[in-house]
Amino acid sequence: MDFAGIASLIYLPIERIICNGLKMYVVESKGGAIACMLLALFFLGTWPAIMTLLERRGRLPQHTYLDYTMTNLLAAVIIALTFGEIGSSTPEKPNFIAQLSQDNWPSILFAMAGGVVLSLGNLSTQYAWAFVGLSVTEVITASITVVIGTTLNYFLDDKINRAQILFPGVGCFLIAVCLGSAVHSSNAADNKAKLKGAGYSPTSNGALTNEELRNLEKGTGIIEEAKAGTAEFLLELEKRRAIKVFGKSTIVGLSITFFAGVCFSLFSPAFNLATNDQWHTLKEGVPHLVVYTAFFYFSVSCFVIALILNITFLYLPVLDLPRSSFKAYINDWNGRGWALLAGLLCGFGNGLQFMGGQAAGYAAADAVQALPLVSTFWGILLFGEYQKSSRRTYVLLFGMLFMFIVAVGVLMASSGHRK
């Protein structure tokens, strides 16, 4: 290749970057949308594992969530001030700063409503993880989100996604949910058998007797000394974790999980309404909220609700957690870095989901609700979930993960293109 050919290879990509810089950067291609969804899937499946790890190490969830919510908002600000400010502002697609002064309050309220329900859902799941487990909690909440949220987004997006592909994908999620429930049931039976073999006899609701609880409190050792999957591991974990689950009914955890799932199913349709104004609430001539501005308002409301509730829970804790204080939170540096990282991962994951949804349809972007695939991987790798379980549990676990993989592929294949 001659010098001119080499120069053209260098110049043409730079020319495209410069030309694209003349307008705000918006994901428009189907390939770009799918790339956003895949990256969001990894981020959104990883941050719950970090939060769960901190709770299992004894850090109060109120402390963890306050750290998390700081960087979650920071991620939205970074996205707004970078992607939202690239290039010059146009009347049709104003930049982030330019749009802050426009009369678009109806859309802002939809975005903030989405942030409120997401914050309530995330806040709920940090307690559900302790009761129901990381994998099962994510499976149930993701399934509710797909069944309700994806259906709402399909109609809000004027059916730009291919229904003949989209709804079979929803069906795959439902199958995965049924398998996930079976995995939980089978694994619970395995754990019950392990505890019984070690001299502990959980009652029918999963609780230990008073005498067994007293024996547990007298135990010694640290969790790393017990092998994952053994009865000793389960007992040592209960002593160390922040949220005590022995002696409590799993119905509490399941109720929290279903509440979180309903919250999660509503935040994406609310964001969809904020950016596309399908109900024509904006005045004539006022441009729609760009995805970056909507995400900023979305994250602000998410931050405010989380701040109010978690500071309240410091002084009025729920589920028998110990009372804390704002001063105690400020001085608690144990695991703070991990909590801050979790907030960044969740913030960037949500932002990427919305960027992909604006291009390919929010119904297709709900493919990121296959995040239990990632969470289950971290659950097995970090927490020893399903270790030393029965063959039946392993078969069901494989079936659940396989159906999630199929569901992700099918929902992404249903991607359309917004005009």
Residue-level length of the chain: 419
Could you tell me the pLDDT band of residue 213, with boundaries at 50, 70 and 90?
very low
Spatial separation of the C-alpha atoms in residues 77 and 354, rounded to whole Å: 15
Work out the angle between the directed axes of helices 231-240 and 210-217 (0-180°, nearest 10).
Answer: 80
Spatial separation of the C-alpha atoms in residues 310 and 122, rounded to whole Å: 12
| Res 19: pLDDT | 40
Tokens of 114: 């989405």
Cβ count near 340 (within 10 Å): 18
Tokens of 179: 């398998």
| Res 76: pLDDT | 94
**H-assigned helices in 145-290:** 151-156, 163-197, 210-217, 231-240, 250-276
Picking from 110, 143, 87, the residue whose alpha carbon sits closest to that of residue 371 is 143
Residue 6 reports pLDDT greater than 60: no
- Using DSSP, state whether 333 is helix, strand or coil: coil
Asked if residues 80 and 290 have their Cβ atoms less than 8 Å apart, the reply is no
Rg (CA), the chain: 23
pTM: 0.78
Name 26's Cβ contacts closer than 8 Å, sequence gap at least 6: 93, 290, 291, 355, 358, 359
Count CA atoms closer than 13 A to 395's CA, side-chain side.
4
Residue 353 reports pLDDT greater than 50: yes
Count CA atoms closer than 13 A to 107's CA, side-chain side.
26
Report the share of the chain in percent with pLDDT over 70: 74
Spatial separation of the C-alpha atoms in residues 237 and 223, rounded to whole Å: 6
pLDDT tens per residue across span 33-75: 677 778 888 898 899 989 988 998 899 999 999 999 999 999 9
Phi-psi region of 411 (alpha: psi -120 to 50; beta: other; left: phi over 0): alpha
Indicate the range of 32-41, 212-221, 281-290 predicted with least confidence: 212-221
Residue 83 reports pLDDT greater than 90: no
Residue 406 reports pLDDT greater than 90: no
Residues of the chain by 3-state class (helix, strand, coil), percent to 5: 75, 0, 25
**Higher-scoring residue by pLDDT: 382, 332:** 332
**Higher-scoring residue by pLDDT: 154, 325:** 325
| Res 335: pLDDT | 93
Picking from 195, 217, 198, the residue whose alpha carbon sits closest to that of residue 206 is 195
| Res 187: pLDDT | 77
